[in-house]
Amino acid sequence: MEATAEEVDRAVRSAHAVRDALADRAARAAFLRAAAELLEESGEHIIEAADAETALGPARLTGELARTAAQFRAFAEVVDEGAYLDIHIDHPDATRTPPWPDLRRYKIPLGVVAVYAASNFPLAFSVPGGDTASALAAGCPVVVKAHPDHPATSELCASVLRRAAARTGLPENVLTVVHGFDAGVELIRHPLVSAAGFTGSVRGGRALFDAAAARPAPIPFHGELGSLNPVVVTAAAAAQRAGEIGTGLGGSMTLGVGQFCTKPGFVLVPEGAAGDQLLKTLTETVSSTGSGVLLDHRMRDAFVTGVRERAALPGVDAPVTPGAAGAHSVSAGFLTVPAARLTADGPHDALLEECFGPVTVIARYASVDEIAAVLARLPGNLTATLQTAGDETGDPDAGPLLAALTPLAGRILVNGWPTGVAVAPAQHHGGPYPATTSTSTSVGATAIERWLRPVTYQSTPETLLPAELREDNPLGLPRRVDGRRA
């Protein structure tokens, strides 16, 4: 099953050979819509295969398949509109100092994109996931390194996408799949691979990121590696709605057995009666959550070891103890610690690192200054959440704390929970390292920008210009001409 170096080379070269077939925007859009349609038509088989390999359950996987198909349709609309080409035309202007020549700029596809599939989303972040959909939308052929946790699902989805290509007159090799650890290393090093997208662990992602940078010709590596997703509960919020917050937190941190990249893994809660009430509700919510199966034994072992080591630290309590529950399952829980123990380097730094699975850390703070000291020590995140009182004027801490959270993450939530990432044009799923290795998003319309590069034509005769940049705009594309939308 694992691809050899020769098979990886063949996959990349076959993808590179068909890149010109993706140049037609109408054909690409038709392909993306056909992919969505065929994924839905094959949904029963896809969900059955994915559930057998991941134990995520039909309900969760049905929703994920709907999201996956929606991503393809969304990118088809992006391709149809054409604004992603970011066309700018500046006519000659001899009155400028220095004078302007005729300049025409747009974006072109990078070439073959390597996509590294995720374990926790066998559809939406794997073979037919957002990295694949956005790269194909940009006009880039894709070679996916399938995740070992769901190889059959990967092959099934690949066959669906290849059928969609054939149905719309495109070569099937606009998408190919390879398997195996060594194949992943060979893929990132291949000279015809022009960019890569990754969702996974900090360790694995950083190794591939370093390999991408060490190539004779380095390439962009858009990696999503890990996130603590901090939550700050203001004193006013706890006093106003402790029960609501405790219930919401319990539901969010245990959703999908805690295997979401946006799981709230670290929460700052005030000391005192209101904070105590919040923890009481959280205890009731988490205690009523049944045990669950993690995606593979490696994740289960890491979770059990991680929570045991964290719980053994001085001053750490476990109101609901997380850990092993039978031979294959794990139970949800949470840990508490005084925030003062986290304001300086020490063994408690482990509490500021992601632990994948159904656990969160509650740090009890005594003052806003203590919150600030802890936030200053946090790594980059995908999300950061502020739970505040309903009326901001009655919560004087809300503004300063929101400002303190903003540098830490790519998506800032107020009075919500981070699990659940809408596939919308304004979405940003990324953040400062180690959340991601770039400033781009992997969800939403602007994810397409990762696989494009700008090119400017200067003083080029009309007959030599690409159709996208010609004066009469034969393709009817949105663009800026002399600084104004046209």
- Per-residue tokens: 62: 């049905």
Distance CA(470)–CA(461), nearest Å, equals 9
Which contiguous run of DSSP H or E holds residue 253? helix 235-254
Section 294-315 average pLDDT: 95
**In the chain, where are the structural domains located?**
5-225+437-480, 230-414
Length of the chain: 486
Residue-level pLDDT at 38:
98
Contact 31, 165 (CB under 8 A): yes
SS3 150: coil
Asked whether residue 353 carries a pLDDT value surpassing 70, the answer given is yes
Assign 371 to helix, strand or coil.
Answer: helix
- Cis upstream peptide for 216 (omega within 30°): no
- Cα–Cα distance for residue pair 250/332, rounded to 1 Å: 9
Parallel/antiparallel/unpaired status of strands 142-145 and 323-325: unpaired
Give the pLDDT score at 392: 60
Which residue among 53, 64, 157, 261 is the active-site one? 261
Contact of 366 with 373, CB cutoff 8 Å:
no
Report which DSSP code applies to 170: -
Whether residue 382 is predicted with pLDDT greater than 90 in this model: the reply is: yes
Q: 3-state class of 460 per DSSP?
A: coil
Instruction: State yes or no: pLDDT of 91 exceeds 90.
Output: yes
Which H or E run contains 259?
none
Q: Decide if pLDDT at 468 tops 90.
A: yes
pLDDT of residue 326: 81
The 3-class secondary structure across 293-334, one letter per residue, is ECCCHHHHHHHHHHHHHHHCCCCCEEEECCEEECCCEEECEE
Buried-state track 27-43, b at ≥16 Cβ within 10 A, e below 16? bbbbbbbbbbbbbbebb
The average confidence (pLDDT) of the chain is 96
**Predicted local confidence at residue 46, as pLDDT:** 98
Tally of CB atoms within 10 A around 196: 28
Taking only the tens place, the pLDDT of each residue in 105-128 is: 999 999 999 999 999 999 999 999
Please tell me which residue in 53, 224, 354, 468 is annotated as part of the active site. Answer: 224
Mean pLDDT of 314-320: 97
Q: What is the pLDDT of residue 177?
A: 98
**What does the alpha-carbon distance between residue 97 and residue 417 come to, in Å, rounded to a whole number?**
52
Query: 230-414 belongs to which CATH class?
Result: alpha beta
Q: Give the CATH architecture of domain 5-225+437-480.
A: 3-Layer(aba) Sandwich (3.40)
**225 has a pLDDT exceeding 70:** yes
pLDDT band at 393 (very low <50, low <70, confident <90, very high): low
Helix, strand, coil shares of the chain, percent, nearest 5, are 45, 20, 35
The pLDDT of 471-481, averaged and rounded, is 97
**Average pLDDT, integer, range 135-154:** 98
Mean pLDDT across 96-113: 97
Quote the pLDDT of residue 426.
Answer: 95
- Strand pairing class (221-224; 193-199): parallel
224 noted as active-site residue: yes
